[in-house]
Amino acid sequence: MIRLAAPAKTNLFLEVPARRPDGFHELDTVFVALELADELELRPLPGGRIELQVEGGPDVPADSTNLAWRAAEALRQAAGRPELGAALRLTKRIPAGGGLGGGSSDAAAVLRGLDRLWETGLGAARLHALAAGLGSDVPFFLAGGLQRGRGRGERLEPLPRPPRPLDLVLVLPGFPCPTPQVYRELAPWLPGPEGPRSPAPLLAALAAGDPEAVGAELWNRLALPAFARWPRLSELERMLRARPGVTGALLSGSGSTLFALCASTDAAAGLATALGREGLTALATRTSHPEASSD
């Protein structure tokens, strides 16, 4: 049996330089893994059987439409071994459909875990290609940590481990923002003659380990169409920015989760408690930087 953590992610920077002819969008983004994580247990099964059990995610399908299941099927097909089977037990802690990459992370954890359990010997490049075929965010989760992503998000470059983890509070507005819709409504908001923004100032702030500077450099192009469609998100972001101990706030990926970056762990804990008392669903967490992603 193998047990793995499948961490959530957010994007500290997300620029969309252009729409691509294939219907996807060219990204320049900074992904970071979070301590908030789903848990996955994997056991081998005989006869090519795949089983999936989901705990704690009432809206998460426990069948072959789940990306975790599709990851298992894609892996054994790539290995050319249809007799391989597995029982997957997924404990959901990452809210689904919120721009935190939960489904993508589960799929990447299945690829990592079953690759070991089944001893496929496919190698890192084949795993990466399988991950990219499952979804734009899946390759990031093979290594996690802090990475810059370009292309659809699958062309990755590991970034140096920051001096200390960042503290943040996730706020769940209680409604979903469908990712394809947010991208569809992005056209009027794409960069004009001024050109795309560069993540260089954010990367410098991260390397310096300065939460004030990181907070000032947060950027997400997808917030423009999302805020136009769901004004509640923009209200919540403004409210978070004005809170004591908050250095910046941003929409996570295509939403609907927002995050507030905090100056300290105490500030994040205090903010999550205060927001909870005000009736919001809020969760303090930190960025997660496994040894493998450090330079």
Q: Are 122 and 78 in contact (CB under 8 A)?
A: yes
Report the nearest approach of ligand C5P to the CB of residue 19 (Å): 8
Instruction: Annotate each residue in 6-25 with x if it binds ligand C5P (CB under 6 A) or - if it does not, as one string.
Output: ------------------xx
Q: Is 92 a catalytic residue?
A: no
Which residue, 121 or 180, has its beta carbon nearer to ligand C5P?
A: 180
Rounded Cα distance between 161 and 127, Å, is 24
- Active-site pick, 38, 106, 115, 137: 137
- Active-site pick, 9, 28, 38, 115: 9
189 near ligand C5P, judged by CB under 6 A: no
Which residue, 177 or 258, has its beta carbon nearer to ligand C5P?
A: 177
Give the binding-site size for ligand C5P (rule: CB under 6 A). 11
Report the nearest approach of ligand C5P to the CB of residue 89 (Å): 24
Q: Are 214 and 248 in contact (CB under 8 A)?
A: yes
Rounded Cα distance between 128 and 122, Å, is 10
Contacts of 103 (CB under 8 A, 6+ apart): 60, 66, 67, 68, 96, 135
Q: Are 89 and 50 in contact (CB under 8 A)?
A: no
Which residue, 46 or 188, has its beta carbon nearer to ligand C5P?
A: 188
Buried b (16+ CB within 10 A) or exposed e, 57-78: beebebeeebbbbbbbebbbeb
Report the nearest approach of ligand C5P to the CB of residue 30 (Å): 14
Detail the DSSP E strand segments found in the chain: 2-19, 25-45, 50-55, 85-91, 146-151, 155-158, 167-172, 219-220, 246-251, 258-262, 281-286
Instruction: Write phi, then psi, for 145 (nearest 5 degrees).
Output: 70, -135
Residue of 129, 133, 179, 274 interacting with ligand C5P (CB under 6 A): 179
Rounded Cα distance between 105 and 135, Å, is 10
Token digits of residue 147: 């990475």
Which residue, 182 or 218, has its beta carbon nearer to ligand C5P?
A: 182
Report the nearest approach of ligand C5P to the CB of residue 184 (Å): 7
Report the nearest approach of ligand C5P to the CB of residue 240 (Å): 25
Q: Is 266 a catalytic residue?
A: no
According to CB under 6 A, which residues from 112 to 171 bind ligand C5P? 135-137, 152-153
Instruction: Annotate each residue in 22-41 with x if it binds ligand C5P (CB under 6 A) or - if it does not, as one string.
Output: --xx-x--------------
Q: Are 42 and 110 in contact (CB under 8 A)?
A: yes
Question: Which is it for the CA torsion 177, 181, 185, 187, positive or negative?
Answer: positive
Residue of 183, 213, 243, 286 interacting with ligand C5P (CB under 6 A): 183
Rounded Cα distance between 38 and 106, Å, is 7
Report the nearest approach of ligand C5P to the CB of residue 227 (Å): 18
According to CB under 6 A, which residues from 70 to 89 bind ligand C5P? none
- Interface residues with ligand C5P (CB under 6 A) are 24-25, 27, 135-137, 152-153, 179-180, 183
Catalytic residues: 9, 137
